[in-house]
Amino acid sequence: MNNQQATAAFTSPLPAAGRARMPHLPVLDGWRGISILSVLAAHMLPLGPKHLQLNDSAACFGMAIFFTLSGFLITSTLYFHPSVRDFFIRRACRILPAAWLFMVIVLAYIHATPAVWRANMLFYANLPPYYLPDITAHMWSLCVEVQFYLGIGIVFLLLRRKGLALLPFICVAVTVGRVFHGATVDIATPYRIDEILSGTSLAYLFHGKLSASLKRALSRISPFVMLALLCASCLVALPHLIWLNYLRPYCAAALVGTTLFHEGTGWNRMLESRSLKYIASISYALYVWHPLATVGWFAQGSKLMKYAKRPIGFALAFALAHVSTFYFEKYWIKLGKRLTTRKPSRRLAS
């Protein structure tokens, strides 16, 4: 970082100071794009060397970033638009249509049992005894998300903004529980939700009274340092580094946080690129639909043949995601906004 860039990073205005509406933070789009690309690479490509289990590590990396972003954006939404009713309506319209459509198609195709149908459609399939057939295995993370939405909605309904102050403490408590049970990587919500809560904690500090202190702390840290730490915390095959897995939520939140305060740097120019912005715009649909590009014809043949088909699989995944985002999900998102937009009364309008 040169001197001019460093000055920009230290003198940028406070994030939420004087704002009545939630600010748009373009760097988050970049991280969302990177997170889904990491997940796609983990699920659709051979990453090696094999003994390092880099496919698992890439998935951990992508999901840590994704969960951090989710926690940050959900908390920010409630911070600036404190309506639990509107929050639930908009989340339902954003999440449920594509997820339920995918589940109806694939669960019917595999002739799933009623128990599998219930667990997947109601988003508790990631909890023991686990109801995740291979075709919906990736939906464990959406189960964590939906359970988090319910939890933070209830907390906010009861305690309003004061409830957000509890989130950092809950995050640490969850991590302590992970350490106690030796849960370095787990799909069950009690052992994974600290990755979302680290994002909620970042949002609470970013928008709250401690914003200036957070800026001073994070603007002094190079994103390269936090990227290296996050990558190390995602390594699941190196016993001497396994303890770093417990710090993965905080490394991800710190990495995203540092880029919020490094305006004008190469990091931000990359994260705000048009390509990552587009990938971010279809990221949810990519997440939902990409398994269809790994089954059936795509899974037939030798290993070499399977991976030779991957370019076609990627093209199909992106095509499905584009259509889903702009020709299916778009309608439901607009519906959610219509249902939560307050019309001015006649008296006020006059």
Token duo for residue 154: 């209830």
Average pLDDT over residues 178-194: 96
Q: Quick one: which of 99, 90, 149, 98 has its CA closest to 338?
A: 90
Mean of the per-residue pLDDT values of the chain: 90
Q: What is the pLDDT of residue 263?
A: 73
Helices (H) and strands (E) in the chain, counts: 18, 0
The residues, any chain, with a CB within 8 Å of residue 334's CB and separated by 6 or more, are none
pLDDT, tens digit (0-9, with 9 covering 90-100), for 205-214? 888 887 888 8
- Would you say residue 236 has pLDDT above 60? yes
Q: Quick one: which of 288, 321, 30 has its CA closest to 136?
A: 288
Task: Check whether the bond before 49 is cis (ω within 30° of 0).
Answer: yes
Angstrom CA distances, 183 to 140, 242, 243, stand at: 16, 10, 10
Token duo for residue 130: 């686990």
- Could you give the CA distance from residue 77 to residue 287 in angstroms, rounded to a whole number? 22
| 3-class secondary-structure state, position 284 | helix
Q: Quick one: which of 341, 297, 349, 329 has its CA closest to 92?
A: 329
pLDDT, tens digit (0-9, with 9 covering 90-100), for 123-176? 999 999 999 999 999 999 999 999 999 999 999 999 988 888 899 999 999 999
> Which DSSP string do the residues of 111-129 spell out, in sequence order?
T--HHHHHHHHTT-TTSTT
In percent, how much of the chain has pLDDT > 90?
75
Q: What is the pLDDT of residue 28?
A: 95
Is the entire prediction scored with pTM above 0.95? Answer: no
Average pLDDT over residues 300-310: 93
- Would you say residue 20 has pLDDT above 80? no
- Residue 30: CB atoms within 10 A of its CB come to 24
Q: Quick one: which of 232, 123, 185, 264 has its CA closest to 194?
A: 185
pLDDT, tens digit (0-9, with 9 covering 90-100), for 239-255? 888 999 999 999 999 99
CA dihedral 234, 250, 169, 164 (to 10 degrees): -110
Judge whether 76 and 42 are in contact, CB under 8 Å: no
Split at pLDDT 50, 70, 90, the class of 22 is confident
- Residue 305: CB atoms within 10 A of its CB come to 10
pLDDT, tens digit (0-9, with 9 covering 90-100), for 81-139? 889 999 999 999 999 999 999 999 999 999 999 999 999 999 999 999 999 999 999 99
Token duo for residue 49: 């060397």
- Could you give the CA distance from residue 144 to residue 185 in angstroms, rounded to a whole number? 14
Token duo for residue 95: 């999440």
- Rounded to 5 degrees, φ, ψ at 272 are -95, 15
Token duo for residue 262: 């490094």
